[in-house]
Structure 1
Amino acid sequence: MSVVALRLAGPLQSWGSGSRFVRRGTEREPTKSGVLGLVAAARGLRREDPLEELLGLRYGVRVDRPGQLLRDFHTAQRPKRERDGSVTWRSLPLSQRYYLSDAVFLAVLEGDRALVEGIDEALRAPHFPLYLGRRSCPPAGPVALGTADGDVEQALATWPWQASVRVQRAHRERTVWLATIRDAKPGTPEAEPVRDMPVSFDPNRREYTWRSVVRGTVEIPNEHGTVPATGVHDPMSLLGE
């Protein structure tokens, strides 16, 4: 098997899996449905097109920088043209929308070599614009990181840390522990269900189903670290950066 890696970084990201009505939340990591939607846009698929080719991909994500949770109290108006030709404005319902600010993630998709190489090519020259969950969240820089032989677990454990040089220098230690979440293999005892597996993106019949995931951590070298690692894993160490 082979993998294609994506760097998901930007001023804002929003990966909702259960947003309803006036409260638009975000998960703390990119959802599989969101990343597959990004890949589908890069490949030129429209919302009504079938997704079968992408649904067999295994997915994993690593939290290279968790970012900060941001709430936007959102107001909007819609223009309405009256019979006399004048335009009035109608206020839309107030909403609360949540984003991740300054977060960085490594996302990995595992599948046949031809498929993942085609995804990498599409991400480098996308057919439609790419967004990090919502249209208001464009990526900061290229998304494609390339392909490699191996599986999701190997890629998450070996791909270089994607945080900025400033963040890496601020961390100081020569290694960093990063949280991961990935598709669970059958029979994994600690797996948990999440409902973010897309069946259809068609606006008239959006469908999602459940997938099993497993959470963990990996230790990654810090190229800009100057202090030997203490050997103690502090999962809260990045939250203050």
Structure 2
Amino acid sequence: MTVVALRLAGPMQSWGSGSRFVRRSSEREPTKSGVLGLVAAAKGIRRTDSLEEILDLRFGVRVDQPGRLMRDFQTAQRPKTNRDGSVSWTSMPLSHRYYLSDAVYVAVLEGESALVEGIDAALRRPEFPLYLGRRSCPPAGPVALGVFDGDLGTALASIPWQAGSREQRRHRERSVRVATICDAPVGVAGAEMVRDEPVSFDPNRRQHGWRPITRDVVELPNPHGVVDTVEHDPMSALGG
């Protein structure tokens, strides 16, 4: 199999999987639905088009820089024409929108070589604008990281750490441990279920299904590290 990798970084991101009414939440890492939506935009797939081409891709994400969760209050007014022809304004309910600030992720999609290479090419010359979960969240810099041989786990363990240089310098250790979330292999026991598997992006019948995921940690070199990581042994103080 082959993997295409994406660097998802920007001032703000928002990856909702259960937003309702006036509360628009965000998960702490990119959703499969959101990333496949970004890929669909790059390939010129419209919301009403079939997603069959990309639905069999396996998905994984690595949290290189967690960022901070922030909340935004938004107000709106709706115009109303009165009987005398004048216009008045009616206040809409206050909405709460959540974003991830200053976060960096590596997302990977595993599939057949021709499909994966086509996605990489589309990300470099997208048909529609790309955004990180919401239209108000454009990516900071190129998204495409290239195509790699192997599976999700191999790619997530080998792609260099993508955190900003300031974040890398903040971690003085020569290696860092970062979290990964991947589609679980078929039949794996104890998988966590999340509802962000896209079925249709059509605004009139948007649908999402459940998918099993596994969480893990990988260790990556820190190019700005200066201190070797030493395992702490609290029992050493009791030695003779």
TM tier relative to shorter chain? over 0.9
Matched ranges for 1:1-241 at <5 A: 1-79=1-79, 88-231=88-231
Q: Which 10-residue stretch deviates more, 86-95 or 12-21?
A: 86-95
The answer for the alignment partner of 1:236 in structure 2 is none
Amino acid of the structure 2 residue aligned with 1:168 = Q
Amino acid of the structure 2 residue aligned with 1:38 = L
User: Using the alignment, how far apart are the partners of 1:230 and 1:135 within structure 2?
Assistant: 44
Secondary structure of the equivalent of 2:54?
helix
Amino acid of the structure 1 residue aligned with 2:185 = K
Could you tell me how far 1:83 is from its partner in structure 2?
7.9
Could you tell me how far 1:230 is from its partner in structure 2?
2.2
Structure 1: runs of 5 or more not aligned: 233-241
Secondary structure of the equivalent of 2:53?
helix
Structure 1 pair 84/116, CA: closer, same or farther in 2 (3 Å)?
farther
Amino acid of the structure 2 residue aligned with 1:129 = P
Secondary structure of the equivalent of 2:115?
helix
Offset from partner CA, 1:50-89 (integer Å, 9 cap, x none): 0011100000000001111101111123445678776544
What is the aligned-residue identity percentage?
Answer: 72
Aligned residues: 232
User: Using the alignment, how far apart are the partners of 2:52 and 2:206 within structure 1?
Assistant: 15
Offset from partner CA, 1:75-106 (integer Å, 9 cap, x none): 12344567877654432221111111101000
User: Using the alignment, how far apart are the partners of 2:86 and 2:139 within structure 1?
Assistant: 39
Amino acid of the structure 1 residue aligned with 2:96 = Q
User: Using the alignment, how far apart are the partners of 2:29 and 2:52 within structure 1?
Assistant: 24
Secondary structure of the equivalent of 1:11?
strand
Larger-gyration structure (1/2): 2
Give the TM-score normalised by structure 2: 0.92
User: Using the alignment, how far apart are the partners of 1:152 and 1:85 within structure 2?
Assistant: 62
User: Using the alignment, how far apart are the partners of 1:154 and 1:39 within structure 2?
Assistant: 21
The answer for the alignment partner of 2:236 in structure 1 is none
Q: Which 10-residue stretch deviates more, 222-231 or 58-67?
A: 222-231
Offset from partner CA, 1:167-189 (integer Å, 9 cap, x none): 11110111000001000001222
Q: Which 10-residue stretch deviates more, 78-87 or 110-119?
A: 78-87
Structure 1 pair 228/118, CA: closer, same or farther in 2 (3 Å)?
same
Secondary structure of the equivalent of 2:182?
strand
Amino acid of the structure 2 residue aligned with 1:209 = G
User: Using the alignment, how far apart are the partners of 2:79 and 2:230 within structure 1?
Assistant: 59
User: Using the alignment, how far apart are the partners of 1:140 and 1:12 within structure 2?
Assistant: 9
User: Using the alignment, how far apart are the partners of 1:155 and 1:109 within structure 2?
Assistant: 10
User: Using the alignment, how far apart are the partners of 1:144 and 1:85 within structure 2?
Assistant: 53
User: Using the alignment, how far apart are the partners of 1:147 and 1:86 within structure 2?
Assistant: 60
Structure 1 pair 83/112, CA: closer, same or farther in 2 (3 Å)?
farther
Give the TM-score normalised by structure 1: 0.92
Q: Which 10-residue stretch deviates more, 76-85 or 88-97?
A: 76-85
